[in-house]
Amino acid sequence: MIKADNLFFSYTGSPPYVLDGINWEIRNGEYVSVVGENGSGKSTLMRLILKFIKPTSGRIAVQTKRIGYVPQKNDFSNSNFPITVYEALNSYRKLLKIKSKDIITDALEQVGMSDFTDVLMGTLSGGQNQKILIARALLGKPDLLILDEPSTGVDINGQKEIYEFLKKINKENGITVVSVEHNLDAAISNSTLIYHLMCGQGHLCTPRQYVDEFLKNRGEKR
């Protein structure tokens, strides 16, 4: 469960707040897409869940065993640093102090990237890179996976594969997914809940409710 109670956050510690009194409760097993305009505070909310930063006031409680985080980019994308997919994942495995190396093979298999073990990280496409980031997050066997715009820079087919995979691990493995999304179609099609951030306030609804409100606000008939 992720529960926010009257959560305020400002980078300066005083008003104006980026997050201005957030209340939400997400049960384990949900697939939540967090949407909102640029600068509405989506990544800030993720940083609070990840405990990278602390609330200015209020509380955020995360009741899960292990959290996996998929950032938008990794340090090796678009770089000439000569590190292979395996080496990148293996360094992360060591960081997590996981003994078995089989976990790398398993994670690569899960995201359909087994053939890329010896490929240099810097030569991967956007979609392939994103899958490796997801594989990296899976090494720690998370029960909560947080993603920051997983489809950025990924072509249509790659996006389809990534979202299918996220839906699969959510449904079949019960992993709670919280994903910052600019891709509204993906948010509506894949998530069980949508959290819409606007002017520091948030609104949790089902994808159906989101579509209805979105169309209503644009004055369109259903």
Three-class secondary structure assignment of 45-99: HHHHHCCCCCCCEEEEEECCCCEEEECCCCCCCCCCCCCEHHHHHHHHHHHCCCC
Q: Is the dihedral of CA 137, 140, 141, 145 positive or negative?
A: negative
The nearer residue to ligand ATP, 43 or 110, going by C-beta atoms, is: 43
Q: Phi and psi of 23, rounded to 5°? A: -130, 125
Judged by CB under 6 A, the residue of 42, 93, 131, 196 near ligand ATP is 42
Instruction: Establish if 44 lies at the interface with ligand ATP (CB under 6 A).
Output: yes
The nearer residue to ligand ATP, 13 or 219, going by C-beta atoms, is: 13
Cross-strand bridge partners of residue 5: 59
Q: Least separation, in Å, of the C-beta of 44 and ligand ATP?
A: 3
Instruction: Establish if 128 lies at the interface with ligand ATP (CB under 6 A).
Output: no
Judged by CB under 6 A, the residue of 13, 14, 16, 38 near ligand ATP is 38
The nearer residue to ligand ATP, 18 or 139, going by C-beta atoms, is: 18
Residues 6+ apart with CB under 8 A from 130: 70, 150, 151, 153, 154, 158, 162
Q: Least separation, in Å, of the C-beta of 180 and ligand ATP?
A: 6
Which DSSP helix (H) or strand (E) runs through 146? strand 144-148
Judged by CB under 6 A, the residue of 39, 82, 112, 174 near ligand ATP is 39
Stretch 6-35 residues interacting with ligand ATP (CB under 6 A):
11, 18
The nearer residue to ligand ATP, 29 or 71, going by C-beta atoms, is: 71
Contact present, 90 and 101 (Cβ < 8 Å): yes
The nearer residue to ligand ATP, 41 or 68, going by C-beta atoms, is: 41
Cβ atoms within 10 Å, residue 30: 16
- Residues at the site binding ligand ATP, with contacts judged by CB under 6 A: 11, 18, 36, 38-44
